[in-house]
Amino acid sequence: MPRNALCTINLTNLRRAYLGLAGIAWLFSAQASLADEAEKIIVSHGFNEYDELKYAPDDPHLDYVNPYAPLGGEISIATIGTFDSMNPYATGRGSWGALSTIGYEDIMVTTSDEVGSYYCLLCETIEYPESESWVIFHLRDDVTFSDGTPMTAEDILFTHELLIEQGTPSYANYIKQVIAESEILDSHTIKFTFAEDVPKKGLITQMGSLPVWSRKWYEETGARLDESRLEISPGTGEYVLDSLDVGRNIVYRRNPNYWGANHYLRKGRGNYDRIRVEYFGDSSAAFEAFKAGEYTFRQENSSINWATLYDFPALEKGWVKRETLADGSLPGATGFVFNMRLDKFQDRNLRLALGHMYNFTWTNENLQYGLFTQRESFWENDRLKASGLPEGRELELLEEFRDQLPQEVFTEPALLPHESGERPLDRQNLRKALRFMEAAGYSPGDDGLRGDSRGEP
């Protein structure tokens, strides 16, 4: 074959090879570009699964604090019982002291005027894809433990592994299932990759709620997380243990070298120099001690006590200030709860009948001194509470399930029945309750009691 022909063949092959490689390179580039477009990476100072974050990282402070509050003094509180340990993470091993977690901080923290918002405290930012399949914490480089040692990604990983090795078995087993890999990217960056076959919702905040313990202290002391002890390991928090008298009192003092004193999430907080916790055998002893001035702050949770016991000399002389404060938080879920595992309570009409039978207004005025407020939602005191008729986006979401929902969801306001304070049983609601009982198949028997088709009440 002529040399020039051979040369021509080689050049052709080279040209084809080049074009092929170029095509492969373009293909990979296009795939990478599509992957980037499909999996948007988010970098933020916080995280909320449902809503926008209220606060920006350059905000001066949280809205509900006083950044100019004076520093100093002591607040003392009471608690009932005793303690023999200061390690709250040793579940089932001793009774740990009140506020024994006060010296520790989580990577991210929540606020009191939002639902579902988590903000970076020990981190500057978090990084995660839209799929939430992993999260990277970019840690602050100025965080120190109370002993002065800096916090690094090594401490985060150590805490994570310590919880798996020495924490409660249920938590350890759960974390093993949801965390596929944990890796330190540099001294102040750590990544957690979640398992592919688990729901991702809530996992970012789960890892953001991780407390941070000092690897150096645990290695030097040989202490274990699952042991009862009276010594507290160094934390990054505002307070440190000052003194304790087992079974009697615990005193914490403000750390003058606290790293986060000027952090916008911490301004206006941690104002007391000392926090003292006094222990008492029962609530009566604790109340008598308060009257005698043995501690300075008491939160009353009994309507009877509030209405009848606060008439002692110190209050009359003005030494004690008695106030009702609205804290704006979600109230505790108190009330009558139906056991839905019982067949009878599967019927909504029966549940409505029983709900109409309970006269909150009369009970509150006659038994609880009028000090309770009837809740109308599990989201009381929050904008997530349903009120009025559904409209806008809420109505749009409900429309898809109109055939599966009671019609009154669309026609009646979301309110509990109003009752009368004049008599224990409100007649109007009783009539409604009877109609619901009939609809549920409960009719009067020979004994005058209502029962179902089998005669069961």
**Domain boundary assignment for the chain:** 46-254, 282-325, 343-451
Tell me whether strands 74-80 and 274-280 are parallel, antiparallel or unpaired. parallel
Decide: helix, strand or coil at residue 77: strand
Class of the domain covering 46-254: alpha beta
Q: What angle do CA 95, 329, 284 make, to 5 degrees?
A: 45
pTM to 2 decimals? 0.79
Q: CA-to-CA distance for 308 and 322, rounded, in angstroms?
A: 13
CB 76 within 8 A of CB 140: no
For the chain, state the CA radius of gyration: 31
Report the distance separating Cα 96 and Cα 403, nearest Å: 52
Residue 250, Cβ neighbours under 10 Å: how many?
A: 23
CB distance 331 to 381 below 8 Å: yes
pLDDT band at 416 (very low <50, low <70, confident <90, very high): low
Helices and strands per DSSP (H, E), number in the chain: 13, 14
pLDDT digits (tens, 9 = 90+) for 91-114: 878 899 999 999 999 999 999 888
SS3 444: strand
Which tokens belong to 238?
A: 């505002």
Class level of CATH domain 343-451: alpha beta
Confidence band, pLDDT 50/70/90 cuts, at residue 382 = confident
Fold: same for 46-254 and 343-451: no
pLDDT mean over 380-407: 89
pLDDT, tens only, 148-177? 999 999 999 999 999 999 998 888 999 999
